[in-house]
Amino acid sequence: MDNIQLEEAKEKEIQLIKRLKSLKQVLVAFSGGVDSTYLLTVAQESLGENCKAVFAHGPMISLEEEKEALALIKLHNFQVEILDIDILALEEFRNNPPNRCYYCKKRLFQTFVEYAKLLDNSIVIEGTNASDTQDYRPGRIALQELGIISPLQEVGLTKAEIRTLSKRRQLSTWNKPSMACLASRIPYGDSITIDLLQRIEQAEALLHEKGYIECRVRVHGEIARIEIPIEYFSRLVQEHTEITTHLLKLGFRFVTLDLMGLRSGSLNPA
């Protein structure tokens, strides 16, 4: 990012701080990802005790991601309440229609809004950024219906700018790979079960342990389709025996490497 772009990002951050201060009291939806960590950091600096946050514990989040989020809470002394949300109790989520994200976001943020009312009537905010408008995200409709505010998007901060500003603040999340709900590994129309989510989590945990930090294990029936950056293909082929043996033990019959590489939202409608 050149100097002109950096100055533009810094100006947007100034506008973000002004916007947060205008809200006076907020409850931040925190996931531990790049965007929500940056948003919570700036909100805490801007509002102090008038900034609190909430983290959703549930089967859609991997144990690894949850541990990382809890470590950030401790490191930065964030005021975060952890809420248990059994998203699998929601039939629309289990049935996995193309607008599954709408139903999931609706349930999550309804819970956050209810908690905010019980707490201190804070305004619920979340970390959608300006770059997210380029992707298929039906969950945004649920946010709009519930009146959830997305300050990063409002001031026009892009993902790249948030990473740069996070690095300037020495946030460890500045270069963290983009996160996604474990259900995003399952094609629309295929039922979502706790067993399937856990198998996906365990498969990706092995890949993470072996150094494939950016990866997805998409599931098509008995097939586990591995997505990793193309530059890691040759390495994975060399390590294929251990990886396939582990995934076969998890109950998959076939293990494949997607030659198109890692693609965010590769199961989204064209």
Domain ranges of the chain: 3-175, 182-257
Q: Write down the pLDDT at residue 87.
A: 95
Query: Per residue, what are the HEC states of 235-252?
Result: HHHHCHHHHHHHHHHCCC
In three-state secondary structure terms, 52 is strand
Residue entry with tokens 């949850």? 66
Compute the distance between CA of residue 123 and CA of residue 23 in angstroms, rounded to an integer: 7
CB within 8 A of 142, min separation 6: which ones?
A: 102, 103, 105, 106, 109
pLDDT truncated to tens, each residue of the chain (270 aa)? 777 888 999 999 999 999 999 999 999 999 999 999 999 999 999 999 999 999 999 999 999 999 999 999 999 999 999 999 999 999 999 999 999 999 999 999 999 999 999 988 899 999 999 998 777 788 899 999 999 999 999 999 999 999 999 999 999 999 999 888 999 999 999 999 999 999 999 999 999 999 999 999 999 999 999 999 999 999 999 999 999 999 999 999 999 999 999 998 878 875
pLDDT score at 270: 59
| CB contact at 8 A, 20 and 50 | no
Would you say how long the chain is, in residues?
270
Q: Identify the H or E element spanning 218.
A: strand 216-220
As given in the structure block, the two tokens for residue 58 are 């549930």
Q: The domain 3-175 is classified under which CATH number: 3.40.50.2300, 1.10.10.10, 3.40.50.620, 3.65.10.10?
A: 3.40.50.620
pLDDT of residue 155: 97
DSSP string, 72-129: HHHHHT--EEEEE--GGG-HHHHH--TTHHHHHHHHHHHHHHHHHHHHT-PEEE----
Q: Which fold has domain 182-257?
A: GMP Synthetase; Chain A, domain 3 (3.30.300)
Q: Is the full-model pTM beyond 0.85?
A: yes
Give the CA-trace dihedral at 228, 231, 233, 238, to 10 degrees: -120
